[in-house]
Amino acid sequence: MRIGWGWLWVGLGLGIGSSWVTAQETLGRPQPRPERTAEERAAWVAELRRLYARPREEWPAPMVDEGVAWKEFAALPSRPKPTPLEEEWIEWGKRLFFDPRLSRTGEMACASCHDPDLGWADGRTVSFGLGRRPLKRNAPGLVFAAHASALFWDGRADSLETQARMVLLNEEEMGCSETIARELLERPEYRGLNELPIPKPNAEPTKDRVASPACDTPALDRVSRALAAFERAIPVIRAPLDRFIEGEVQALSDEALIGLDLFRREGRCLNCHYGPLLSDGQFHEVGLSYFGRELEDLGRFHVTGDPADSGKFRTPSLRNVALTAPYMHNGLFQLDGVLKMYNAGMPTIPRRGDAAEDPRFPVKSPLLKPLGLNRRDLADLKAFLVEGLTSPPRRVRPPRWDRPLDPPVGPAATSKESESGEVKE
């Protein structure tokens, strides 16, 4: 998706000296620290190799703020082998995940925004919905969604089943309905799913709170269960960081090792990105809500209605972060830009005019502070994020159909979209 001039000016508006950054903040930033010489760098790498060869409980203490319940890096918990019944649900979910007939117009599948070859994201600034209309937010990757306690950027879903149902029913995203789901499941290629027993609720790794089979939308219930089963089974492969944790000290290059140490200490990244997922699962305001502007997005506030949540977004997992560009909830930034913004302490919106009294005025997280890292530091941090956290690829092939897919079902079978994007019956 191309970024027009409006988006470009938004990006420029985050630059140093703009109205997004207070003068006091600019003057108070620390200067980048001097870079190490080649000899100093070699000695530092040798020292880090020695320090991080120890058990994790003996690693150097991280730099985190008081009250942060951080956890050390750890491998992801292993997933239990699915039962034969669960395997069937996974296979049906895979078929549905790639089937555009779940959308009202027959043009959007789950895979349209969550492409396995793009880190289960879509590589766009913001995703497209029905009629190729741009949506409001960047599509998060799905690889580690099964381990998350809250889903979507604003955390409005607490399970994969709920997440799937919300996307299906969203009129801008897929526009599905019970009628569309029922008619799709009545087709010959899906009759096996209609007859499949529903497994007992599985609370691990996420909660199953979808309505029972006796609900008034049984077809949507089956579809959302199958999609969740597939998403929960998305393969997770160990990254170099996992091998490093397990004692393979050469799993990280010199640059990535320095980056790991920066991540844990001077970069202050463990304040929000820790544990197996490299995420605290919480919500933070990082200065990118565009309060009072055309692209305003108050994030978590729209879910809770609590002014204290204004502008807050969920901390994403950093695993496979190199595969899911662009970044942030609005998809406006590449990795280098994100690192530079965090190094500067992220932008602060000054309280001016009516905003000064608005209870919804977003307040930037106190965990964000200028860091004073130099260019080599940022390159090392990037090496850790790109080399250390990226799992080897595992190809997930779309399902093969015995025959070409039939036309869309439900309203899509009789509707036509005009050039203006309006659906005409």
Instruction: Report the alpha-carbon distance of residue 152 to residue 319 in Å, rounded.
Output: 17
Q: What does the pLDDT look like over 168-208, one tens digit per residue?
A: 999 999 999 999 999 999 999 998 998 899 876 544 444 44
The pLDDT of residue 78 is: 82
125 and 220 part of one domain: yes
Containing structural domain, residue 324? 5-76+238-388
Q: What does the pLDDT look like over 102-128, one tens digit per residue?
A: 999 999 999 999 999 999 999 999 999
Instruction: Report the alpha-carbon distance of residue 386 to residue 252 in Å, rounded.
Output: 11
Let me know if residue 408 belongs to a domain.
Answer: no
The answer to whether 123 touches 136, Cβ cutoff 8 Å, is: no
125 and 196 part of one domain: yes
Angle at 338 between CA 336 and CA 340, to 5 degrees: 70
Tally the domains of the chain. Answer: 2
57 and 91 part of one domain: no
Let me know if residue 287 belongs to a domain.
Answer: yes
89 and 128 part of one domain: yes
The pLDDT of residue 421 is: 37
Q: Give the CATH number of the domain where residue 301 resides.
A: 1.10.760.10
Let me know if residue 37 belongs to a domain.
Answer: yes
Instruction: Report the alpha-carbon distance of residue 135 to residue 153 in Å, rounded.
Output: 13
The pLDDT of residue 199 is: 77
51 and 163 part of one domain: no
197 and 56 part of one domain: no
The pLDDT of residue 349 is: 80
Let me know if residue 396 belongs to a domain.
Answer: no
The pLDDT of residue 264 is: 98
Residue 115, strand partner residues:
121
89 and 196 part of one domain: yes
Instruction: Report the alpha-carbon distance of residue 74 to residue 391 in Å, rounded.
Output: 15
42 and 88 part of one domain: no
Give the torsion sign (CA, 114, 116, 119, 124): negative
53 and 120 part of one domain: no
Residue 422 or 285, more confident: 285
Let me know if residue 397 belongs to a domain.
Answer: no
288 and 189 part of one domain: no
Instruction: Report the alpha-carbon distance of residue 42 to residue 186 in Å, rounded.
Output: 66
The pLDDT of residue 9 is: 36
pLDDT average, residue stretch 290-316: 96
Instruction: Report the alpha-carbon distance of residue 330 to residue 320 in Å, rounded.
Output: 19
Let me know if residue 168 belongs to a domain.
Answer: yes
- Phi/psi for 250 (5° steps) reads -90, 5
The answer to whether 99 touches 405, Cβ cutoff 8 Å, is: yes
Instruction: Report the alpha-carbon distance of residue 176 to residue 196 in Å, rounded.
Output: 22
The last residue of one of the domains, among 218, 236, 254, is 236
Torsion of CA 158, 273, 365, 67, to 10 degrees: 90
Let me know if residue 63 belongs to a domain.
Answer: yes
How many CB atoms are closer than 10 A to CB 341? Answer: 20
The answer to whether 13 touches 334, Cβ cutoff 8 Å, is: no
Q: In the 8-state DSSP scheme, what is residue 124? A: S
**pLDDT band for position 394 (50/70/90)?**
confident
Structure tokens, 362? 């977003």
Structure tokens, 346? 């992220």
Let me know if residue 406 belongs to a domain.
Answer: no
Q: Which among 175, 174, 173, 131 is positioned nearest to 418, based on CA atoms?
A: 131
Point out the least confidently predicted range of 44-53, 150-159, 200-209, 364-373: 200-209
122 and 149 part of one domain: yes
The last residue of one of the domains, among 236, 269, 285, is 236
Which residues lie below 8 Å from residue 147, measured CB to CB, with a gap of 6+? 76, 77, 205, 206, 276, 277
Point out the least confidently predicted range of 1-15, 35-49, 136-150, 232-246: 1-15
The last residue of one of the domains, among 236, 264, 281, is 236
Residue 31 or 272, more confident: 272
pLDDT average, residue stretch 344-358: 84
94 and 220 part of one domain: yes
Instruction: Report the alpha-carbon distance of residue 19 to residue 17 in Å, rounded.
Output: 7
Instruction: Report the alpha-carbon distance of residue 412 to residue 402 in Å, rounded.
Output: 23
